[in-house]
Structure 1
Amino acid sequence: MFDGNLTRFQLDGTVEHREGQQFVGGKGFAGDSFERVHRIEPHGFASSPVKGGIGVAMSARGNRDSAYVFGGENPSMRPDIAMGGAAIYDHTGNIVSVVQKDMRIVHSARVHIVAPEIILEGAVYLGGPGASRPVSAEGTVDSAGHTDASNFAAGVFAT
Protein backbone atom coordinates (compact mmCIF):
# COMPACT_ATOMS: atom_id res chain seq x y z
CA MET A 1 0.00 0.00 0.00
CA PHE A 2 1.26 3.48 -0.84
CA ASP A 3 1.57 6.20 1.81
CA GLY A 4 1.07 9.09 -0.62
CA ASN A 5 4.71 10.07 -0.12
CA LEU A 6 3.96 11.35 3.40
CA THR A 7 6.23 11.15 6.42
CA ARG A 8 6.25 12.48 9.98
CA PHE A 9 8.64 15.41 10.06
CA GLN A 10 10.52 16.72 13.11
CA LEU A 11 11.97 20.21 12.73
CA ASP A 12 15.65 20.67 13.55
CA GLY A 13 15.36 24.43 14.19
CA THR A 14 16.69 25.53 10.79
CA VAL A 15 14.41 28.23 9.33
CA GLU A 16 15.15 30.31 6.24
CA HIS A 17 12.92 33.04 4.81
CA ARG A 18 13.39 33.83 1.15
CA GLU A 19 11.16 35.86 -1.18
CA GLY A 20 8.13 35.56 1.11
CA GLN A 21 8.47 31.82 1.56
CA GLN A 22 9.73 29.77 4.47
CA PHE A 23 12.09 26.80 4.24
CA VAL A 24 12.87 24.44 7.12
CA GLY A 25 15.08 21.45 7.85
CA GLY A 26 14.46 18.29 9.79
CA LYS A 27 14.17 14.53 9.88
CA GLY A 28 11.55 12.14 8.61
CA PHE A 29 10.00 9.16 10.37
CA ALA A 30 12.88 6.81 9.54
CA GLY A 31 15.52 9.40 10.45
CA ASP A 32 16.01 10.49 6.84
CA SER A 33 17.28 14.06 6.65
CA PHE A 34 15.55 16.89 4.77
CA GLU A 35 17.06 20.32 4.02
CA ARG A 36 15.37 23.49 2.73
CA VAL A 37 11.85 22.03 2.67
CA HIS A 38 9.13 24.54 1.77
CA ARG A 39 6.82 25.02 4.80
CA ILE A 40 3.21 25.84 3.96
CA GLU A 41 1.03 28.14 6.12
CA PRO A 42 -2.46 29.57 5.53
CA HIS A 43 -2.96 33.15 4.36
CA GLY A 44 -3.00 35.71 7.18
CA PHE A 45 -0.92 33.61 9.55
CA ALA A 46 2.83 33.74 9.97
CA SER A 47 4.98 31.82 12.41
CA SER A 48 8.54 30.72 12.79
CA PRO A 49 8.62 27.13 14.02
CA VAL A 50 10.95 25.98 16.79
CA LYS A 51 13.23 22.98 17.10
CA GLY A 52 11.31 19.86 18.03
CA GLY A 53 8.14 20.89 16.22
CA ILE A 54 6.29 18.08 14.48
CA GLY A 55 4.58 18.22 11.12
CA VAL A 56 4.04 16.13 8.05
CA ALA A 57 6.22 16.21 4.93
CA MET A 58 4.79 15.40 1.55
CA SER A 59 7.00 14.71 -1.44
CA ALA A 60 5.38 15.97 -4.64
CA ARG A 61 5.48 13.34 -7.40
CA GLY A 62 7.50 11.14 -5.04
CA ASN A 63 10.50 13.42 -5.44
CA ARG A 64 12.33 14.26 -2.18
CA ASP A 65 13.64 17.46 -3.77
CA SER A 66 10.03 18.69 -4.09
CA ALA A 67 8.93 18.20 -0.48
CA TYR A 68 6.50 20.41 1.44
CA VAL A 69 5.99 20.54 5.22
CA PHE A 70 2.64 21.22 6.88
CA GLY A 71 2.42 22.05 10.59
CA GLY A 72 5.34 22.22 12.97
CA GLU A 73 3.88 22.52 16.47
CA ASN A 74 6.19 21.61 19.35
CA PRO A 75 4.09 19.49 21.76
CA SER A 76 6.01 20.71 24.83
CA MET A 77 4.98 24.32 24.15
CA ARG A 78 1.31 23.77 23.36
CA PRO A 79 -0.98 25.58 25.84
CA ASP A 80 -3.71 23.64 27.63
CA ILE A 81 -7.02 24.92 26.29
CA ALA A 82 -10.58 23.70 26.66
CA MET A 83 -12.40 21.71 23.98
CA GLY A 84 -13.39 24.00 21.12
CA GLY A 85 -10.98 26.75 22.21
CA ALA A 86 -8.32 28.40 20.07
CA ALA A 87 -4.99 30.01 20.93
CA ILE A 88 -2.18 31.96 19.33
CA TYR A 89 1.02 31.48 21.31
CA ASP A 90 4.79 31.69 21.07
CA HIS A 91 7.80 29.88 22.51
CA THR A 92 8.04 32.13 25.60
CA GLY A 93 4.54 31.53 27.00
CA ASN A 94 2.81 34.62 25.58
CA ILE A 95 -0.72 33.68 24.57
CA VAL A 96 -3.95 35.02 23.14
CA SER A 97 -6.69 32.47 23.77
CA VAL A 98 -10.37 32.32 22.95
CA VAL A 99 -12.02 29.75 25.19
CA GLN A 100 -15.78 29.57 25.64
CA LYS A 101 -16.96 33.09 26.58
CA ASP A 102 -13.53 34.56 27.46
CA MET A 103 -10.67 36.04 25.48
CA ARG A 104 -7.36 36.25 27.34
CA ILE A 105 -4.18 38.04 26.38
CA VAL A 106 -1.21 37.06 28.54
CA HIS A 107 2.20 38.63 28.09
CA SER A 108 5.23 38.94 30.34
CA ALA A 109 6.16 42.53 29.54
CA ARG A 110 3.63 44.76 27.77
CA VAL A 111 0.55 44.71 25.54
CA HIS A 112 0.60 47.53 22.99
CA ILE A 113 -2.57 48.29 21.01
CA VAL A 114 -2.17 50.67 18.08
CA ALA A 115 -5.07 52.17 16.14
CA PRO A 116 -6.32 55.63 15.17
CA GLU A 117 -9.37 54.93 17.35
CA ILE A 118 -9.85 52.36 20.13
CA ILE A 119 -13.35 51.59 21.37
CA LEU A 120 -13.96 49.81 24.67
CA GLU A 121 -17.61 48.93 25.10
CA GLY A 122 -18.85 47.57 28.41
CA ALA A 123 -17.60 47.83 31.97
CA VAL A 124 -13.83 48.28 32.29
CA TYR A 125 -12.05 47.01 35.42
CA LEU A 126 -8.65 48.63 36.08
CA GLY A 127 -6.45 46.62 38.41
CA GLY A 128 -8.25 43.28 38.00
CA PRO A 129 -11.68 41.67 38.16
CA GLY A 130 -12.12 42.72 41.81
CA ALA A 131 -12.08 46.44 41.03
CA SER A 132 -15.29 48.00 42.39
CA ARG A 133 -14.61 51.70 43.04
CA PRO A 134 -16.22 53.72 40.22
CA VAL A 135 -14.02 56.38 38.66
CA SER A 136 -15.67 59.51 37.40
CA ALA A 137 -15.43 61.88 34.45
CA GLU A 138 -13.44 65.12 34.47
CA GLY A 139 -15.38 67.92 36.18
CA THR A 140 -17.32 65.64 38.55
CA VAL A 141 -17.63 67.16 42.01
CA ASP A 142 -17.39 64.70 44.91
CA SER A 143 -19.17 64.94 48.29
CA ALA A 144 -16.30 66.96 49.76
CA GLY A 145 -16.58 69.57 47.00
CA HIS A 146 -13.46 68.46 45.10
CA THR A 147 -13.58 68.45 41.31
CA ASP A 148 -12.02 65.55 39.36
CA ALA A 149 -9.21 66.74 37.10
CA SER A 150 -8.79 63.45 35.27
CA ASN A 151 -10.90 62.22 32.38
CA PHE A 152 -11.99 58.69 33.29
CA ALA A 153 -15.37 57.62 32.00
CA ALA A 154 -18.41 56.32 33.82
CA GLY A 155 -18.48 52.51 33.81
CA VAL A 156 -14.77 52.31 34.64
CA PHE A 157 -13.87 50.78 38.00
CA ALA A 158 -10.52 50.83 39.81
CA THR A 159 -9.06 48.99 42.78
Structure 2
Amino acid sequence: MGFDANLTRMQLDGTVKHVGGQQFLAGKGLAGETFPRVHRVEPHGFTSHPVSGGIATVMQSRSSRDSVYAMGGANPDLVPQLALGGSAIYDHLGNVVSVVENKVRIVAAESIELVSPLIVLDGLVKLGGPGADRPASARGTVDTAGAQDVDNLATRVLVI
Protein backbone atom coordinates (compact mmCIF):
# COMPACT_ATOMS: atom_id res chain seq x y z
CA MET A 1 0.00 0.00 0.00
CA GLY A 2 3.05 2.26 -0.44
CA PHE A 3 2.47 6.00 -0.22
CA ASP A 4 -1.33 6.10 0.13
CA ALA A 5 -1.36 6.42 3.94
CA ASN A 6 -2.07 2.68 4.12
CA LEU A 7 -5.62 3.18 2.90
CA THR A 8 -7.31 1.19 0.14
CA ARG A 9 -10.60 -0.50 -0.74
CA MET A 10 -11.53 -4.14 -0.91
CA GLN A 11 -14.39 -6.06 -2.46
CA LEU A 12 -15.91 -8.44 0.06
CA ASP A 13 -16.10 -12.13 -0.84
CA GLY A 14 -18.97 -12.83 1.58
CA THR A 15 -16.84 -14.39 4.34
CA VAL A 16 -17.91 -12.96 7.71
CA LYS A 17 -16.71 -14.37 11.05
CA HIS A 18 -17.83 -13.26 14.49
CA VAL A 19 -15.20 -13.75 17.18
CA GLY A 20 -15.53 -12.41 20.72
CA GLY A 21 -18.07 -9.76 19.79
CA GLN A 22 -15.98 -8.56 16.85
CA GLN A 23 -16.53 -9.06 13.14
CA PHE A 24 -13.89 -10.12 10.62
CA LEU A 25 -14.25 -9.94 6.83
CA ALA A 26 -12.34 -11.26 3.84
CA GLY A 27 -11.94 -10.01 0.30
CA LYS A 28 -9.72 -8.72 -2.45
CA GLY A 29 -8.05 -5.34 -2.81
CA LEU A 30 -8.12 -3.19 -5.92
CA ALA A 31 -4.58 -4.27 -6.85
CA GLY A 32 -5.49 -7.96 -6.45
CA GLU A 33 -4.07 -8.36 -2.94
CA THR A 34 -6.02 -10.69 -0.66
CA PHE A 35 -7.31 -9.77 2.77
CA PRO A 36 -8.18 -13.01 4.62
CA ARG A 37 -8.99 -11.49 8.06
CA VAL A 38 -9.88 -7.82 8.36
CA HIS A 39 -11.41 -6.43 11.57
CA ARG A 40 -14.57 -4.49 10.69
CA VAL A 41 -15.19 -1.39 12.78
CA GLU A 42 -18.87 -0.99 13.76
CA PRO A 43 -20.57 1.73 15.83
CA HIS A 44 -22.23 0.98 19.16
CA GLY A 45 -25.85 -0.14 18.87
CA PHE A 46 -25.68 -1.19 15.24
CA THR A 47 -24.42 -4.29 13.49
CA SER A 48 -24.86 -5.77 10.06
CA HIS A 49 -23.70 -8.80 8.14
CA PRO A 50 -22.23 -7.55 4.84
CA VAL A 51 -22.75 -9.60 1.69
CA SER A 52 -20.50 -10.58 -1.18
CA GLY A 53 -19.81 -7.72 -3.56
CA GLY A 54 -19.75 -5.09 -0.84
CA ILE A 55 -17.01 -2.46 -0.91
CA ALA A 56 -15.12 -1.62 2.29
CA THR A 57 -12.47 0.97 3.01
CA VAL A 58 -9.42 -0.77 4.48
CA MET A 59 -6.76 0.82 6.65
CA GLN A 60 -3.53 -0.82 7.83
CA SER A 61 -1.33 0.18 10.73
CA ARG A 62 2.15 1.19 9.51
CA SER A 63 3.80 -0.30 12.59
CA SER A 64 1.85 -3.58 12.51
CA ARG A 65 0.90 -4.78 9.03
CA ASP A 66 -1.23 -7.51 10.66
CA SER A 67 -3.55 -4.83 12.08
CA VAL A 68 -6.05 -4.27 9.26
CA TYR A 69 -9.38 -2.50 9.76
CA ALA A 70 -12.42 -2.26 7.48
CA MET A 71 -15.09 0.43 7.47
CA GLY A 72 -18.31 0.20 5.53
CA GLY A 73 -19.02 -2.77 3.29
CA ALA A 74 -22.18 -1.81 1.38
CA ASN A 75 -22.94 -3.65 -1.85
CA PRO A 76 -23.68 -0.86 -4.39
CA ASP A 77 -26.32 -3.00 -6.14
CA LEU A 78 -28.43 -3.19 -2.94
CA VAL A 79 -28.33 0.42 -1.70
CA PRO A 80 -31.82 1.99 -1.96
CA GLN A 81 -32.18 5.32 -3.76
CA LEU A 82 -33.24 8.07 -1.34
CA ALA A 83 -34.23 11.70 -1.57
CA LEU A 84 -31.88 14.37 -0.25
CA GLY A 85 -31.44 13.99 3.52
CA GLY A 86 -33.09 10.55 3.65
CA SER A 87 -31.77 7.54 5.53
CA ALA A 88 -32.57 3.83 5.46
CA ILE A 89 -31.88 0.48 7.05
CA TYR A 90 -32.00 -2.24 4.40
CA ASP A 91 -30.95 -5.81 3.71
CA HIS A 92 -30.19 -8.06 0.75
CA LEU A 93 -33.83 -9.22 0.38
CA GLY A 94 -35.34 -5.81 -0.36
CA ASN A 95 -36.59 -5.07 3.16
CA VAL A 96 -36.27 -1.34 3.84
CA VAL A 97 -37.06 0.97 6.74
CA SER A 98 -36.63 4.50 5.43
CA VAL A 99 -36.93 7.98 6.85
CA VAL A 100 -37.43 10.46 4.02
CA GLU A 101 -38.66 13.98 4.62
CA ASN A 102 -41.72 13.67 6.91
CA LYS A 103 -42.44 9.95 6.39
CA VAL A 104 -41.22 6.68 7.89
CA ARG A 105 -41.79 3.81 5.48
CA ILE A 106 -41.37 0.08 6.11
CA VAL A 107 -41.22 -2.24 3.10
CA ALA A 108 -41.01 -5.97 3.82
CA ALA A 109 -40.31 -8.77 1.38
CA GLU A 110 -42.53 -11.21 3.28
CA SER A 111 -44.10 -9.95 6.53
CA ILE A 112 -43.90 -7.39 9.34
CA GLU A 113 -44.11 -8.54 12.92
CA LEU A 114 -44.50 -6.19 15.88
CA VAL A 115 -43.83 -7.92 19.19
CA SER A 116 -44.37 -6.11 22.46
CA PRO A 117 -46.54 -6.39 25.57
CA LEU A 118 -48.03 -3.02 24.54
CA ILE A 119 -48.39 -1.56 21.05
CA VAL A 120 -49.78 1.97 20.80
CA LEU A 121 -51.15 3.35 17.53
CA ASP A 122 -52.19 6.97 17.91
CA GLY A 123 -53.74 8.50 14.82
CA LEU A 124 -55.90 7.61 11.85
CA VAL A 125 -55.37 3.97 10.78
CA LYS A 126 -56.14 2.92 7.20
CA LEU A 127 -56.45 -0.82 6.56
CA GLY A 128 -56.25 -2.03 2.99
CA GLY A 129 -54.47 0.99 1.50
CA PRO A 130 -54.44 4.77 1.36
CA GLY A 131 -57.95 4.83 -0.18
CA ALA A 132 -59.60 3.34 2.91
CA ASP A 133 -62.44 5.67 3.99
CA ARG A 134 -65.10 3.55 5.71
CA PRO A 135 -64.93 3.22 9.53
CA ALA A 136 -64.39 -0.35 10.72
CA SER A 137 -67.22 0.31 13.18
CA ALA A 138 -69.94 2.54 11.77
CA ARG A 139 -71.25 5.28 14.03
CA GLY A 140 -74.73 4.56 15.29
CA THR A 141 -74.32 0.78 15.18
CA VAL A 142 -75.72 -0.98 18.23
CA ASP A 143 -73.25 -3.41 19.83
CA THR A 144 -74.05 -6.71 21.60
CA ALA A 145 -74.50 -4.91 24.94
CA GLY A 146 -77.13 -2.62 23.40
CA ALA A 147 -74.89 0.46 23.43
CA GLN A 148 -74.80 2.71 20.40
CA ASP A 149 -71.37 3.18 18.83
CA VAL A 150 -70.90 6.95 18.72
CA ASP A 151 -67.16 7.54 19.03
CA ASN A 152 -64.94 4.58 19.88
CA LEU A 153 -61.52 3.53 18.65
CA ALA A 154 -62.91 1.48 15.76
CA THR A 155 -64.43 4.65 14.22
CA ARG A 156 -60.80 5.85 13.79
CA VAL A 157 -59.88 2.71 11.82
CA LEU A 158 -60.84 3.01 8.16
CA VAL A 159 -61.18 0.07 5.79
CA ILE A 160 -61.72 -0.36 2.06
Q: What is the TM-score with the length of structure 1 in the denominator?
A: 0.88
Question: What is aligned with 1:81?
Answer: 82
| Per-residue deviation, 1:122 | 0.9
Percentage of identical aligned residues: 56
| Per-residue deviation, 1:55 | 1.2
| Per-residue deviation, 1:62 | 4.9
Question: What is aligned with 2:95?
Answer: 94
Distance in 2 between residues matched to 1:123 and 1:133, nearest whole Å: 12
List gaps (5 residues or longer) in structure 2.
146-151
Q: Structure 2 matches for 1:5-154, cutoff 5 A?
A: 5-136=6-137, 141-142=140-141, 146-147=142-143, 153-154=154-155
Distance 1:118 1:40, change over 3 A: same
| Per-residue deviation, 1:141 | 4.7
SS at match of 1:125: strand
Amino acid at match of 2:77: S
Q: Deviations over 1:55-90 (max 9, x none)?
A: 110002353311000000000111111111001000
Tell me how large the CA RMSD over aligned residues is.
2.0
Distance in 1 between residues matched to 2:23 and 2:11, nearest whole Å: 16
| Per-residue deviation, 1:152 | 5.4
Q: What is the TM-score with the length of structure 2 in the denominator?
A: 0.88
Q: Extract structure 1 runs of 4+ deviating beyond 4 A.
A: none
Distance in 2 between residues matched to 1:29 and 1:148, nearest whole Å: 72
Q: Deviations over 1:107-131 (max 9, x none)?
A: 1211011112111111000111100
Distance 1:124 1:148, change over 3 A: farther
Distance in 1 between residues matched to 2:31 and 2:54, nearest whole Å: 16
